[in-house]
């Protein structure tokens, strides 16, 4: 629905009032724009079963794609951390998975936003304790935030850079003060940070990777493990917060066990053999063709598709704009025309995917059609710096005839290259200096070659000299950190309420910062200006409008070749679990809310 511009300003003013209406008030929860679904006297989340029995074990393959581990510190860059480590640590507040960004009290019973919106005060529960029996106090919160700001990985340090002061007011009260103008999301950000034991880390250096199990205050502690093979987490019977409303029906398994395998084929065979209980399938061919084995036919193993309402992620071939040969958007657009998604989806993915169109796919933040009046209000001041296409229906990836070599798309790509100064000479594209247009795809995954090689063949058809470089994972990471590539594949997970992380993905300041996530090397003042609008939004409607405008501009410049997405999780599990009637909207819900069903298990 569109509004006249004047009416839109009135709507924004009303939204801004509602967002700041709760400043100075102690509340049981926080959200970016003030709205909370659950009242102060709620007993449990709607997607949790408060009567779920405790017990049993869940063994699984994690979803982070890790094939080994050598550290129990999840928050530093050194080493390969084990999966599941966040379950060791509580935070001030915990997310509700059926709201975009709402948090409710865990260690903190209440939170109070400051009147100037430059800070927040948390009031802690006196009963909070670490696993060694010591009290969790404001000193531990202060220590944790200061440690994350100075010693954690860059991603955490960046997100906390505008936390100016964190101080203990008394043992159960901690106050944060923020600096700058981009502080909207900081109350929630600090509320979700893990809380460490200050006393423990006075004897254990935080920045050092170690396999010594740390002291935490969360629902699980580390049990038996073997580095690179498996790690287990044992549910704590003495967990101080097990009866809080946010934890009712949560953490039902007595043991969580993460298994590690070197390749997916071995994982699949181990699932069939019952070595572990649950695995999410990420290979579309395998999901379409392999889940018909005997245990599936007898309903001993259940293949299930769980809906996923989170943004679909920003995955694609990112083109390194730092290199002169890619600075012309017509060259980047031509490269995109050589990728035949329709052929790939049919022949390699068994039709299981949809084409990604925007940077905020599978959400209402994605731009569609021509810009709305509200988007035009943000875009028009930049009109002289933008291509005319921004003000037309939003750029969409080409749709091919599915042949794998769509002549129409390749002819268009050829015309774009010629217009950009890359002419054909002896079947090669050269510029006026005689330089040949070369493209190297960098990857560490052999499975991606089946997707890249058909694209390379199409590139060679129009004169681009393209190659594939397969390197080991360590070399791949180092080359990404120094931006030593032409084109590479990456996926960014977009939050339901995007914020300061956008600077690291698309902001000019990150383009030359080593190890940043701005792989495309985007240096665009309009993009920077729109990121500021996203971060500064004072209502969800303002946020949606700013994200759509940003999406429109990014797509118009062809910084990437968009891949594909699937708004669901494909999981297979041995039939010995039960789950609540309602799935959380924004999470799989498996580890935290399913439970072991002894009756089902006995039938196996």
What average pLDDT does range 82-96 have in this prediction? 97
The predicted pLDDT at position 577 comes to 98
- Is it the case that residue 285 has pLDDT exceeding 90? no
Tens of pLDDT, residue by residue over 370-384, are: 999 999 999 999 999
Tens of pLDDT, residue by residue over 489-510, are: 998 889 999 998 899 999 999 9
- Is it the case that residue 20 has pLDDT exceeding 80? no
What average pLDDT does range 166-185 have in this prediction? 94
* Cα–Cα distance, 305 to 267 (Å, whole number): 19
Q: Is residue 243 part of a domain?
A: no
Tens of pLDDT, residue by residue over 196-239, are: 999 999 999 999 889 999 999 999 999 999 999 999 999 999 99
The predicted pLDDT at position 21 comes to 61
DSSP code for 446: G
The predicted pLDDT at position 445 comes to 85
Shared-domain flag, residues 257 and 136: no
* Cα–Cα distance, 195 to 525 (Å, whole number): 37
Shared-domain flag, residues 213 and 89: yes
Closest alpha carbon to 260 in 447, 476, 59: 59
Closest alpha carbon to 76 in 196, 190, 243: 196
CB neighbour list of residue 222: distance below 8 Å, 6 or more residues apart? 72, 88, 213, 231, 232, 233, 234
Shared-domain flag, residues 184 and 279: no
Please answer whether residues 496 and 333 qualify as being in contact, where contact means their C-beta atoms are separated by less than 8 angstroms: no
Look at residues 197, 219, 241 and tell me which one is the last residue of a structural domain. Answer: 219
Q: Is residue 7 part of a domain?
A: no
Please answer whether residues 395 and 26 qualify as being in contact, where contact means their C-beta atoms are separated by less than 8 angstroms: no
What average pLDDT does range 14-26 have in this prediction? 58
- Is it the case that residue 325 has pLDDT exceeding 60? yes
- Is it the case that residue 12 has pLDDT exceeding 60? no
* Cα–Cα distance, 268 to 156 (Å, whole number): 34
Look at residues 175, 202, 219 and tell me which one is the last residue of a structural domain. Answer: 219
Q: Does residue 168 sit in helix, strand or coil?
A: strand
**Whole-number Cα distances in Å, 301 to 255, 260, 272, 288, 596:** 20, 20, 8, 15, 15
Shared-domain flag, residues 395 and 436: yes
SS3 of 120-165: the string is: EEEEECCCCECCCCCECCHHHHHHHHHHHHHCCCHHHHHHCCCEEE
Shared-domain flag, residues 304 and 385: no
Domain that holds residue 359: 318-565
In sequence order, the β-bridge partners of residue 430 are 423, 436
Shared-domain flag, residues 335 and 380: yes
What average pLDDT does range 183-199 have in this prediction? 95
Closest alpha carbon to 171 in 201, 143, 139: 139
| Model pTM score | 0.84
Q: Is residue 192 part of a domain?
A: yes
Q: Is residue 141 part of a domain?
A: yes
User: Which CATH number does the domain housing residue 443 bear?
Assistant: 3.10.105.10
- Number of domains composing the chain: 3
Chain center to CA of 205 = 29
Tens of pLDDT, residue by residue over 227-267, are: 999 999 999 999 999 999 999 999 999 999 999 998 888 99
Shared-domain flag, residues 478 and 580: no
- Is it the case that residue 77 has pLDDT exceeding 50? yes
The predicted pLDDT at position 289 comes to 94
Query: To which residue do tokens 């909070």 refer?
Result: 128
- Is it the case that residue 31 has pLDDT exceeding 80? yes
For the chain, what percent of residues have pLDDT higher than 90? 85
Shared-domain flag, residues 255 and 389: no
Q: Is residue 154 part of a domain?
A: yes
Mean of the per-residue pLDDT values of the chain = 93
**Whole-number Cα distances in Å, 296 to 72, 273, 275, 573:** 36, 12, 15, 10
Which pair of structure tokens corresponds to residue 255?
């043991």
Shared-domain flag, residues 437 and 586: no
- Is it the case that residue 272 has pLDDT exceeding 60? yes
Residue 304 parent element (H or E): strand 301-307
For residue 246, how many other CB atoms are within 10 A of its CB?
Answer: 21
Shared-domain flag, residues 543 and 574: no
Q: Is residue 202 part of a domain?
A: yes
- Is it the case that residue 19 has pLDDT exceeding 70? no
Residue 3 pLDDT level (bands cut at 50, 70, 90): very low
The predicted pLDDT at position 6 comes to 34
The predicted pLDDT at position 447 comes to 84
Look at residues 219, 238, 262 and tell me which one is the last residue of a structural domain. Answer: 219
User: Which CATH number does the domain housing residue 125 bear?
Assistant: 3.40.190.10
**Which residue did the predictor score with more confidence, 219 or 566?**
219
Residue 336 pLDDT level (bands cut at 50, 70, 90): very high
Shared-domain flag, residues 331 and 198: no
Query: For the sheet containing 301-307, what is the strand order?
Result: 220-226, 230-235, 255-259, 57-61, 278-280, 568-574, 301-307
φ/ψ (deg, to 5) at 306: -105, 125
Residue 17 pLDDT level (bands cut at 50, 70, 90): very low
Please answer whether residues 94 and 81 qualify as being in contact, where contact means their C-beta atoms are separated by less than 8 angstroms: no
In sequence order, the β-bridge partners of residue 211 are none
Shared-domain flag, residues 477 and 353: yes
Which pair of structure tokens corresponds to residue 415?
């015309």
| Residues composing the chain | 604
Q: Is residue 87 part of a domain?
A: yes
Residue 550 parent element (H or E): helix 540-556
Which pair of structure tokens corresponds to residue 485?
């590539």
Q: Is residue 238 part of a domain?
A: no
């Amino acid at each position: 629905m569109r509004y006249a511009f004047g009416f839109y300003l009135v709507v924004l003013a009303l939204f801004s009032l509602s967002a700041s209406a709760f400043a100075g008030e102690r509340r049981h929860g926080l959200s970016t724009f003030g709205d909370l679904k659950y009242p102060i006297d709620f007993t449990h989340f709607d997607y949790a079963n408060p009567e779920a029995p405790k017990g049993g074990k869940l063994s699984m393959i994690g979803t982070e794609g890790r094939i080994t581990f050598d550290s129990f510190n999840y928050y530093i860059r050194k080493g390969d951390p084990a999966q599941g480590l966040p379950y060791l640590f509580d935070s001030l507040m915990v997310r509700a998975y059926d709201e975009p960004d709402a948090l409710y009290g865990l260690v903190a019973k209440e939170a109070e936003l400051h009147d100037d919106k430059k800070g927040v005060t948390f009031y802690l529960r006196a009963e909070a304790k670490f696993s060694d029996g010591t009290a969790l106090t404001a000193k531990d919160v202060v220590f944790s935030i200061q440690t994350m700001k100075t010693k954690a990985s860059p991603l955490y340090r960046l997100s906390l850079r505008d936390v100016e002061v964190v101080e203990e007011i008394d043992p159960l009260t901690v106050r944060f003060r923020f600096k700058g103008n981009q502080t909207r999301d900081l109350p929630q950000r600090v509320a979700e940070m893990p809380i460490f034991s200050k006393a423990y880390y006075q004897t254990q250096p935080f920045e050092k990777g170690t396999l010594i199990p740390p002291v935490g205050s969360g629902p699980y502690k580390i049990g038996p493990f073997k580095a690179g093979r498996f790690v287990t987490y044992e549910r704590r019977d003495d967990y101080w917060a097990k009866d809080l409303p946010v934890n009712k029906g949560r953490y039902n398994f007595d043991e969580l066990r993460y298994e590690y395998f070197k390749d997916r084929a071995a994982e699949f065979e181990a699932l069939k053999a019952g070595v572990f209980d649950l695995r999410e399938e990420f290979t579309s061919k395998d999901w379409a063709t392999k889940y018909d084995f005997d245990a599936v036919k007898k309903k001993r193993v259940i293949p299930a598709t769980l809906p996923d309402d989170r943004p679909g992620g920003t995955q694609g071939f990112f083109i390194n704009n730092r290199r002169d040969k890619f600075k012309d958007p017509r060259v980047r657009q031509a490269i995109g025309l050589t990728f035949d998604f329709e052929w790939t989806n049919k022949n390699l993915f068994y039709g299981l995917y949809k084409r990604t169109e925007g940077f905020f796919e599978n959400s209402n933040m994605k731009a569609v059609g021509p810009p709305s009046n509200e988007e035009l209000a943000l875009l028009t001041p930049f009109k002289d710096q933008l291509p005319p296409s921004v003000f037309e229906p939003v750029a969409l990836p080409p749709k091919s005839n599915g042949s794998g070599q769509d002549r129409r798309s390749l002819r268009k790509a050829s015309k774009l290259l010629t217009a950009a100064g890359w002419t054909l000479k002896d079947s090669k594209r050269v510029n006026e200096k005689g330089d040949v247009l070369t493209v190297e795809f960098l990857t560490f995954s052999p499975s991606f070659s089946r997707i890249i090689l058909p694209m390379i063949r199409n590139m060679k058809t129009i004169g681009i000299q393209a190659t594939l470089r397969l390197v080991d994972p360590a070399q791949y990471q180092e080359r990404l950190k120094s931006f030593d590539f032409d084109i590479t594949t990456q996926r960014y997970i977009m939050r339901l309420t995007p914020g300061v992380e956008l600077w690291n993905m698309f902001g000019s300041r990150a383009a030359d910062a080593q190890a940043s996530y701005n792989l495309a090397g985007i240096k665009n003042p309009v993009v920077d200006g729109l990121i500021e609008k996203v971060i500064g939004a004072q209502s969800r409607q303002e946020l949606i409008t700013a994200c759509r405008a940003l999406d429109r501009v990014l797509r118009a410049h062809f910084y990437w070749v968009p891949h594909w997405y699937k708004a669901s999780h494909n999981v297979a599990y041995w039939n010995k679990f039960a789950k609540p009637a309602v799935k959380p909207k924004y999470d799989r819900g498996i580890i935290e809310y399913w439970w072991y069903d002894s009756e089902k298990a006995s039938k196996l």
